[in-house]
Amino acid sequence: MRSLFLLILLAGTGLGIVYPWATTNFSGREIGTYRVYDRGGAFRDVDVALASADAPVRVLVDLTTLAPPVVTPARAILTVTAATHGQTVLAQALNFYDTTPRERSPQLPDPILRDDAGLIREVQPGIYRFTVGQGDADNVQIKSVDLLLRAGSGEADQRAQPIGFSLMAIGFLGLVLSLRRGRGKPENPNSQPPAPRWGRDADKT
């Protein structure tokens, strides 16, 4: 039973965590990575030519900070907008709340956080202007900001995470209960050698 519950836990982790993360960050092909901010300078707009074949386009933002930021869901660190033909097609505030800082390399230990700004599902051929700006969270020591675009990016099935989290809960609880039952089992009396009926130790029985 422990093996079964372990498999359920692993399946739930893959469905609820790994699958959405991989779909967001790696599906499709990379259009490009664009530096939009360096510390001491100003935010720069990026103009990118997109074609209908690029749809849907995933917009990601990498935030490099001098120290791990204190993030809250109510405060936006950055804002992202995309516009084409005079029309805004994407507008998103990023709080980086559910992201895990990572290091680019041991030689560059500054923490990097990635957040998903969303999808441009329908792409009209033309120039798209991407504008990244600072949000209302003013206590973040921003070192640099990169904009990443991925063409043909998939979108995780909305049913995957709830099902995955349910499987994780079932697997975890099952493992805990099976471990407790295993510890609480009484010793099998047949596993002990029988007490001597005669000889020197007979009077100890």
Residue 194 burial by Cβ neighbours in a 10 Å radius (0-12, 13-18, 19+): exposed
Cβ atoms of 150 and 27 within 8 Å: the answer is yes
Per-residue model confidence (pLDDT) at position 108: 67
Residue-wise pLDDT for 64-109, tens only, equals 999 888 888 889 999 999 999 999 999 999 999 988 787 666 666 7
SS3 (DSSP) at 188:
coil
Residue 24 pLDDT greater than 70, yes or no: no
pTM over 0.75: no
* Domain range summary for the chain, segments of one domain joined by +: 1-26+155-184, 28-151
Per-residue model confidence (pLDDT) at position 42: 96
The H or E element containing residue 87 is strand 87-94
User: CB under 8 Å to 78, separation ≥6 — which residues?
Assistant: 61, 63, 93, 94, 96, 115, 132, 133, 134, 135, 145
**The CATH number fitting domain 28-151, selected from 3.40.50, 3.90.120, 1.20.1070, 2.60.120:** 2.60.120
Per-residue model confidence (pLDDT) at position 172: 76
